[in-house]
Amino acid sequence: FMMLLGKFTQPLQSLKKFPCFCGNRHFWGWLNAVFNKVDHERIKAVGPDRAASEWLLRCGALVQYHGQEKWQKDYNNLPTGPLNKYKIKAIDATDSCIMNIGFDYLEGLEHVEKIKLCKCHYIEDECLQKLSQLKNLQKSVLEMEIISCGNVTERGIIALHHLRNLEYLLLQDLPGITNLENVTQIFRNSLPSLKLKSQTKN
């Protein structure tokens, strides 16, 4: 079922450009929830990296694999081959509809080094808290960018200090952050080698 949905993702996303569809928030909320529903049988069948790739592209995000410069953006053109061949290195979720219920897809990923969350309307503190508690990501993630995610506050950002190998964190246009100085101090104490770059609207 989820595979079939993937084939219709791009045309459905394009419909949002038309006024008659943009106003129907309930429909798109339901559809985005369907796209984010975790299929545990699919994860078992194809492995965590492939299943996560399908989820991310279905929701409008991009993925990049280790050993490849190209970003994967077309659900129907995901590479085929041995299940262990393609490991996700980076995720660009700009303008995507990923939401908290789909983050279980990230649990089995062991090689993700960079995550960009930009203009993600469904990203909230609980998403960042869940992400920061995943053991594999705590070890592998080196860079994060969080930009124009209006539902994110200090609570979600501070949770990222659990990503113990994080080297670079960009915070930009996050109106939910009201005490940036406190956030900075917490990261200075917990991750002293972290390069934290911030440009927020308070």
Break the chain into its structural domains and give their ranges: 29-197
Task: Give mean pLDDT, residues 144-154.
Answer: 97
Q: Is the dihedral of CA 101, 160, 144, 52 positive or negative?
A: negative
Q: Report pTM.
A: 0.85
**Beta carbons of 166 and 190 less than 8 angstroms apart:** no
pLDDT at site 24: 53
pLDDT at site 84: 80
Model confidence band, residue 33 (pLDDT cutoffs 50, 70, 90): confident
Q: Name the amino acid, one letter, at 145.
A: E
Using alpha carbons, select from 155, 140, 150, 142 the residue that is nearest to residue 176.
150
pLDDT at site 68: 93
pLDDT at site 22: 40
Both tokens of 191, joined, read 């991750």
Top pLDDT among 21 and 87 is at 87
Which range scores top for mean pLDDT: 76-80, 115-119, 176-180? 115-119
- The answer to whether residue 124 scores a pLDDT higher than 90 is yes
Mean pLDDT, the chain, whole residue set: 87
pLDDT tens readout for residues 53-106: 999 999 999 999 999 999 999 999 998 888 788 999 999 999 999 999 999 999
pLDDT at site 52: 97
What DSSP letter does each residue of the chain carry, written as one string?
Answer: -HHHHHHHHHHHHHHTTSHHHHT-HHHHHHHHHHHH---HHHHHHH-HHHHHHHHHHHTT-EEEETT--SEE--GGG---S-TTT--EEEEE-TT----GGGGGGGTT-----EEEEES-TT-BHHHHHHHHH-HHHHHH--EEEEES-TB--HHHHHHGGG-TT--EEEEES-TT---HHHHHHHHHHH-TT-EEEEE---
Task: Give mean pLDDT, residues 142-152.
Answer: 97
Domain spanning 29-197, CATH architecture: Alpha-Beta Horseshoe (3.80)
